């Protein structure tokens, strides 16, 4: 990793550095942080001669050789001071709440507009809404591209950024063209490396876009989760948030095995913010507030919660796991109070 003395290399400096690394069969990948740009060396960066040549340049502060499988997302990385911003919130400085329907019903857009307004009123800063859905059963409602317009209309009406899951490159292109602010990688795709790379490549062109990466249902070692984030960030946009959402198998009664307790373990390894999804973790509205508060107690930087103005009229997961706006509002109030209480000990 190359750290320049200034906030970024000039064109001439970049050309010189590019020429040096190319001599050794490597290339450069700029990683654009909010203030500073650093440059990853792609290839076999262990050649001492190359490192010595780079270290000799008077505009280079230092070359870091992090012996970690995730050079960018590692806590010791130079990106550790990078802060992700969305919905007026700087992650780590305030509890981020993403809330909204599991699935947008294209036949009943008003439910989504009402939900979006209610989410804003309850204190959410990002509106979520499933446009395309990964469904276990091929005959279940799979989502509808028409819902993208509904999602963006909810953004216009509330002024809040919106989040939607994308499952393939077509959806990715459509979502970005429409202006979706946060792209969700679902649990089923967290191990889909070609999709992670495609998302990384696409968001590298849009530095403001944030990716919410769910934990796979079957991820074991935490390094697998962080490496999935590294895939996305390695193309140049480091705005990746980790989202534990429960793993499989589940104890009887819960949809998944709640995994908010991994939050402090993740934070020991990575600087990436952690936003927990209590809704898919437990899968039943009645248990969601407790799981949300547990996540905050463990040090989560945010929550992603499914909610609906009228859960019984929802589709997808909403009838079972969506909170009503009143319950969401009280959960957010308690979560923010707990976050303030925990902040001094977790910082
Ligand atoms: C969702 O957020 O509605 C969803 C499908 O989540 P996950 O990928 O975590 O199952
Ligand atoms: Mn859902």
R_g of the chain computed on alpha carbons: 21
Is CATH 3.40.50.150 correct for 85-346? no
Cα dist from 166 to 32, 170, 241, 304, whole Å = 23, 9, 15, 16
DSSP codes, 19-80: HHHHHTT-EEEEEE-SS-EEEEEES-TT-HHHHHHHHTSTTEEEE----SS-TTTBTTSGGG
Report the 3 state secondary structure along 181-230: CEEEECHHHCCCHHHHHHHHHHHHCCCCCEEEEECCCCCCCHHHHHHHHH
CA atoms within 13 A on the CB side of 340: 5
Q: Tell me if 134 CB under 6 Å of ligand 1.
A: yes
Q: In what helix (H) or strand (E) does residue 332 lie, and over which residues does it extend?
A: helix 325-346
- Which residue's C-alpha comes closest to atom 3 of ligand 1? 102
pTM over 0.75: yes
Domain ranges of the chain: 2-63, 85-346
Distance from residue 19's CA to the centre of ligand 1 (Å) = 44
315 strand-pairing partners: none
* CATH for the stretch 2-63: 3.30.70
Q: How far is the CA of 46 from the centre of ligand 1 (A)?
A: 40
Pocket of ligand 1 contains residue 155 by CB under 6 Å: no
Per residue of the chain (347 residues), give pLDDT as tens: 999 999 999 999 999 999 999 999 999 999 998 888 999 998 888 889 999 999 999 999 999 887 788 989 999 998 999 999 999 999 999 999 999 999 999 999 999 999 999 999 999 999 999 999 999 999 999 999 999 999 999 999 999 999 999 999 999 999 999 999 999 999 999 999 999 999 999 999 999 999 999 999 999 899 999 999 999 999 999 999 999 999 999 999 999 999 999 999 999 999 999 999 999 999 999 999 999 999 999 999 999 999 999 999 999 999 999 999 999 999 999 999 999 999 999 87
Substitution site in 137, 140, 166, 187 for ligand 1 pocket (most atoms within 8 Å of beta carbon)? 187
Query: How many Å is the maximal CA-CA distance in the chain?
Result: 66
Task: Ligand 1, residue 134: give the atom nearest the CA.
Answer: 5
Q: Is the CB of 187 under 6 A from ligand 1?
A: yes
Question: Dihedral sign, CA of 216, 221, 226, 230?
Answer: negative
Residue nearest to atom 4 of ligand 1 (CA): 186
């Amino acid at each position: 990793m190359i750290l320049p003395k200034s906030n970024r290399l000039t064109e001439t400096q970049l050309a010189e550095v590019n020429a040096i690394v190319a001599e050794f069969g490597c290339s450069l990948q700029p990683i654009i942080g909010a203030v500073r740009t650093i440059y990853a060396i792609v290839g076999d960066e262990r050649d001492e001669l190359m490192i010595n040549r780079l270290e000799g340049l008077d505009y280079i502060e230092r070359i870091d050789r992090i012996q970690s499988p995730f050079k960018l997302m590692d806590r010791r990385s130079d990106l550790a001071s990078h802060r992700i911003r969305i919905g007026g919130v700087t992650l780590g400085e305030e509890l981020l709440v993403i809330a909204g329907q599991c699935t947008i019903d294209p036949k009943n857009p008003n439910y989504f507009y009402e939900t979006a307004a209610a989410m804003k009123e309850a204190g959410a800063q990002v509106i979520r809404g499933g446009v395309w859905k990964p469904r276990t059963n091929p005959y279940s409602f799979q989502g509808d591209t028409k819902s993208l317009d509904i999602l963006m209309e909810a953004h216009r009406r509330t002024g809040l950024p919106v989040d939607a899951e994308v499952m393939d490159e077509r959806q990715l292109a459509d979502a970005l063209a429409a202006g979706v602010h946060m792209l969700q990688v679902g649990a089923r795709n967290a191990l889909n490396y070609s999709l992670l790379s495609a998302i990384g490549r696409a968001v590298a062109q849009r530095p403001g876009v944030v990716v919410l990466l769910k934990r796979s249902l079957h991820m074991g070692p935490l390094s697998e989760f962080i490496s999935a984030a590294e895939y996305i960030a390695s193309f140049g946009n480091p705005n990746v948030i980790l989202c534990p959402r429960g793993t499989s198998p589940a104890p009887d009664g819960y949809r998944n095995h709640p995994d908010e307790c991994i939050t402090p373990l993740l934070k020991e390894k990575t600087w990436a913010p952690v936003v927990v999804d209590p809704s898919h973790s437990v899968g039943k509205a009645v248990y969601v507030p407790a799981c949300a508060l547990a996540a905050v107690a463990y040090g989560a930087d945010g929550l992603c919660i499914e909610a609906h103005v009228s859960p019984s009229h929802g589709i997808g997961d909403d009838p079972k796991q969506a909170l009503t706006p009143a319950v969401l509002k009280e959960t957010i109030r308690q979560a923010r109070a707990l976050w303030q209480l925990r902040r001094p000990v977790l910082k």
